[in-house]
Amino acid sequence: MSKKKPGVIGILTGGGDVPGLNPAIRAVTIRAIREGYQVIGLRRGWAGVTETIREKDADNSNNYQYLTEELVNKSGRTGGTFLHTSRTKPSKMKKDDVPVHLREKYNADENDLTPDVLKNLDWLGIDYLIPIGGDDTLSYAVRLYQEGLKVIAIPKTMDNDVPGTDYCIGFSTCVTRTIALTNSLRTIAGSHERFLVLEVFGRYAGFTAMLPTMAGAAHRCVIPEYKFNIDKLTELMISDRNHNPSRYSVVLVSEGAMFEGGEMVFADRSTDAYGHAKLGGIGDLVASRIKELSGKHNDGKMINTIDQKLGYMVRGGDPDAIDSVVPMAFGNLALDLLLKNIHGRLVVLKNGRYDNMPLDVVTGTKKIVNVDHFYDIERYRPKYENFEMKPLFIMTSEG
């Protein structure tokens, strides 16, 4: 396919949707076009580039599209991703998921389609690839960079757990929504003098439970990084309720939180392309158990619970101010690097400053809450101390 000089940029969004993706796509596209580049939006994450058919007359409308200023401006103020997304992993694809036109070539139980992904990108004339995603999506970007593709990545995830950066697109809106929804539900908890148990996102990292609690939305939170004792949590919740004039208390439960002596709670046994089982149900179990145990610490009287999984409600709708500004900056940072012919980098926010890191940082470590620095294991809540010189959202893996 013919190229327009100085080159062609491919951009995609993978993994879960978050508010802020469309502003990032807009930032990359507008800057790139004004610098003379052509921009191709690869649809449905890694799925679109995997399923592309390298034939002139093939219908690839579901796999990629050419981006214009008019198109991205219309979408740039909205949530979600107009390029759509998926959890496709081309390097480890099950037999039944292989595109039909490639099934003769790839017929093992598990297949690595990377050779065809590279051919598809070359057929599209893509010189540079800008993937926007979490550590799963970006781990495959590392693979393509190792294969010789020029890659500059943008971190996205409402869990805020991509290593190397203090901030990921989607996190601020998630925290904003969590606080707002918790404040809406507390009127019900107060009216009925109940416990309010809210399950929030966070498979391996508890940032989405910690920050709203730190902001005053909840009395307690339990996170994946520290296994909690349910009897102790119940006692703390009762104490909070007794000291509250409206006679209720609130706990935020990360979806990856675990009971002392237990493991993660899964919704079912199915797994996604990256091997992650679907989490869900820990909030229900916590609500049930603290109700059962409440009489022990409340003169024999059980306390009812309001049990709500916030789930997709915190990732829907338009981005907040931070998730409108940061994606704009990240997109332009990516173009700055590209114009300098620098690649194999992840654009980041670090110590309050925009910067970039080696791309393979996303596969070299894990980003989780530093329990010693930030979590009070006796009180099941954040520590409110030593904030000097901390970044905007306080918590990093490094402390």
Active site residues: 159
Q: How far apart are CA 350 and CA 332, in angstroms?
A: 16
User: Which residues have a Cβ under 8 Å from the Cβ of 208 and sit 6 or more positions away?
Assistant: 158, 159, 160, 171, 174, 175, 178, 200, 201, 202, 254, 314
Contact 211, 182 (CB under 8 A): no
Q: Name the residue among 317, 27, 320, 318 with its Cα closest to residue 172.
A: 320
Contact 357, 334 (CB under 8 A): no
Bridge partner list, 64: 42
